[in-house]
Structure 1
């Protein structure tokens, strides 16, 4: 690892800390120094928790000195998305309304990462209340992909993606309601896994059942597949306060080293309904060829969703709007007035997407559920024949800030979400990852790999096989 631990993976840091090659204090200092030197480039971090991180590092070192049992992430720096709570640290949710709010408790997955030995070094940027496919807000502004500082890091976990790609931290979990892990993973050339719905618990209050509309997931974002498996192992499993949580039944770390000769992959670059830029299609074609050379059986198929992309997006918005309107209700219950006096303090994109959105009728929600059911059935039918479905994650490469595409390969698309291929798996709850597939003109492209429900180990196995065939860890900006 040398002097600078920021060049190492999370698993590598944990191994060296356990072996006594590097102290947690030195590891945290390395990462805090790099954040100080480079965060201004991408605007990945909103808050840097130097004091509490150093205190946690000293405690981690004391545990080593006294021979206490060490967790699998002991001494590993982690960044937390700024819509999730870390006790004693600000959670702004990207909003001027909450810019001074300090959390009094850890959210569920943060508590599990801490219990595994991880050390929180700060909070990463997100759009206001996590709503958006790019990362920009009125608290700190936009976040850039390190591959081109004029271009978006994606969203809504854009700060996490940028922090990883610029080696500010080795582990930065994200959350995903419509692609918010996979979109920035693709835009920043990192690995992002949206697990099976419920695998990583989400303790939502006052509405414990809110996360099903649409399926809300928390999952790992990392620079290596091994790191994602390590983090998922720490984060996953049932939780008494999450009515949707499910048991973790697989050995995710073991899946990383598994051969993929027995895996059958259905390849649908556009999922049958989305336009793609030709250069993106060519890049993911090459990546899928590598999976075939690694031993998988690949067949090009159409998922046959039974709906076009406009119908899928309409169903997504119907259900997502319910969740977003609930956010406004919760703000009002806390004493804010987002629909009235506080409206001018909100980001224009949030006002347009959420505040001014027309709440769906019961009939519209019922129709959205029918679309969702057909998507689910279509995927389940494919997963009877295949273990995985491969596609592009995004239809295009990262674009300049504020210039979301309105056409893809000559086809008109919505600039808000028409260039992402991620929503179907939020509507159905299947696990899906974005894996670095290559580059177009120096900009990263992601391959989306989706699995059957509880097929997270298969997704990890195929992702790791692609990483071995086409390693990407040395392709990040210096």
Structure 2
């Protein structure tokens, strides 16, 4: 086995340990991943920008720190990919997936990137996303679609598709993502990797000029990795209040320790469809089998109804008001920050984004108020579940066969079971459930009480031990 193949198969935790002990250098680790990107990314199309020279310079400095005997962080020397949306590094090209911003260079580094670098991670590049993260598949006018490394005829999912695909293909061991309606969890399911959407407010966002644009839809950044333990290390580094984020909260949780906790006393509710989603039979079967593994780990699992009382159409109508308004808000923020009105550039902006902006223009305070009633009803129903159970498990997606360039606009709200939890702000782990009979990836969500992200990690870790998913990358 070549050094590239060996090192790109290891977890971030394993890499950091080997670097600290001198078994391998950070330079060797970074070079191995850069070689892997060169050999594999033409097929996957996960990266928008690769920072090869900067990463090698950082690796050399990381090696010198080891030689000097310095006390280094838990991610020292480990390559990190940044979603090309919101996770900024000063001096690096950040496009937000938009052809209009193909030459945009970040003037500052985001708080979460500063924290990950302080933990020792080395930024190796930025990963593909649909324009401004507006949809659940990754494709744009700038670099095109990103494929799932499990099956390259399938899309990687969105909007953190480049990050998920890079992880599954072994191009990086760690990547950032963000989630406005499932953008961490959808690609995690489609690429067979792990992600956690933290409780809203746990991971800060110091983005400007609009510091209040994440509240109605509960948009949050989060970690993505191949293992639960790696995601926990990332989350530990990323979480914590920040003065520039008015919604961040000071909550102290044990993330890394939680991964190995037993779940013998956990009572877990299982909803195969959140009462109303058209979940396909192959997904139901695969997720049910994965849920059984939680019972094997010692938990009590019971199938339930959520009893929220809404039809799928009523839920969709409510989320259209919140989500499309948030897209319109994004367009306005771009105009305020850069003087660019996306609506004036139909030749460079995707039709799906322009359509969402147009739909968003049709919603006003009355529609948002009405949607708030539905959102509250759904929130209360989930809270009722947590009166009796510690976690709620659901499929991530209703189907697993989304094609590489498939247009999903007509049914965009039918296939992800993710967006209701952007209303509620609950933490959600997104884990691989396995492959369907046809070999397509399926995923499940582990939803926890607000600010009980550690319980989500504990159950995720138990699932990974009982039903390992590393074979998905072989």
TM, length-normalised to structure 2: 0.96
Deviates more, 1:25-34 or 1:331-340: 331-340
| Alignment check: 8 A CA contact 1:204 1:210 kept | no
Instruction: Find the aligned partners of 2:319 and 2:53 in 1 and give their Cα distance.
Output: 41
1:339 pairs with 2:343:
yes
Unaligned runs of 5+ in 1: 407-413
Contact 1:74 1:118 in 2 (8 A): yes
Shift of 1:252: 0.9
Q: Which residue of 2 aligns with 1:46?
A: 48
| Structure 2 spans left out of the alignment, 5+ residues | none
Structure 1 residue 404: deviation in Å? 5.1
Q: Counterparts of 1:353 and 1:361 in 2: how far apart (Å)?
A: 15
Of 111, 114, 117, 1:114 maps to: 117
Q: Map residues 152-167 of structure 1 onto 2, 5 A cutoff.
A: 152-167=155-170
Query: For each residue in 1:42-81, what CA deviation from the matched residue of structure 2 results, as whole angstroms up to 9, or x when unmatched?
Result: 1000110011111111111111111222011100100000
Whether 2:461 is the aligned partner of 1:464: answer yes
* SS in structure 2 of the partner of residue 192 of structure 1: strand
Deviation at residue 405 of structure 1 after TM alignment: 6.4
Aligned residue in 1 for 2:321: 318
TM-score between the two structures when normalised by the length of structure 1: 0.96
- TM superposition shift of 1:2: 7.6
Structure 2 counterpart of 1:411: none
Deviations 1:356-408 (A, max 9, x none): 543411110101111111111111111111110011000011321233569xx
- Alignment correspondent of 2:73: 71
Of 57, 60, 83, the residue aligned with 2:59 is 57
- Are the aligned partners of 1:194 and 1:217 in contact in 2 as well (CA < 8 Å)? yes
Residue 3 of structure 2 corresponds to which residue in structure 1? 3
* Structure 1 equivalent of residue 283 of structure 2: 280
The equivalent of 2:134 in structure 1 is 131
Q: What is the SS of the residue equivalent to 2:376?
A: helix
User: Relative to structure 1, is the Cα distance of residues 405 and 90 closer, same or farther in structure 2, using a 3 angstrom cutoff?
Assistant: closer
Following superposition, the deviation at residue 269 of structure 1 comes to 0.9
SS of residue matched to 2:237: helix
Matches within 5 A, 1:15-414: 15-84=17-86, 85-333=88-336, 334-340=338-344, 342-355=345-358, 357-403=360-406, 414=410
Query: Could you list the per-position Cα deviations for residues 262-321 of structure 1 after superposition, in whole angstroms to 9, with x for gaps in the alignment?
Result: 111001010111111101101111111111111001111111222222222222221122
**Partner Cα separation in structure 1 for residue 188 and residue 101 of structure 2:** 27
Secondary structure of 1:331's partner?
Answer: helix
Question: What root-mean-square deviation, in Å, do the aligned CA atoms of Structure 1 and Structure 2 show?
Answer: 1.4
Q: Secondary structure at the match of 2:434?
A: strand
Match of 1:417 in 2: 413
> 1:326 deviation in Å?
1.9
d(CA) in 1 for partners of 2:295 and 2:205?
36
Q: Contact 2:308–2:377 (CA<8 Å) still a contact in 1?
A: yes
> What number of residue pairs does the alignment pair up?
469
Alpha carbons 1:79, 1:123 under 8 Å: kept:
yes
Deviation at 1:337, TM superposition (A): 2.8
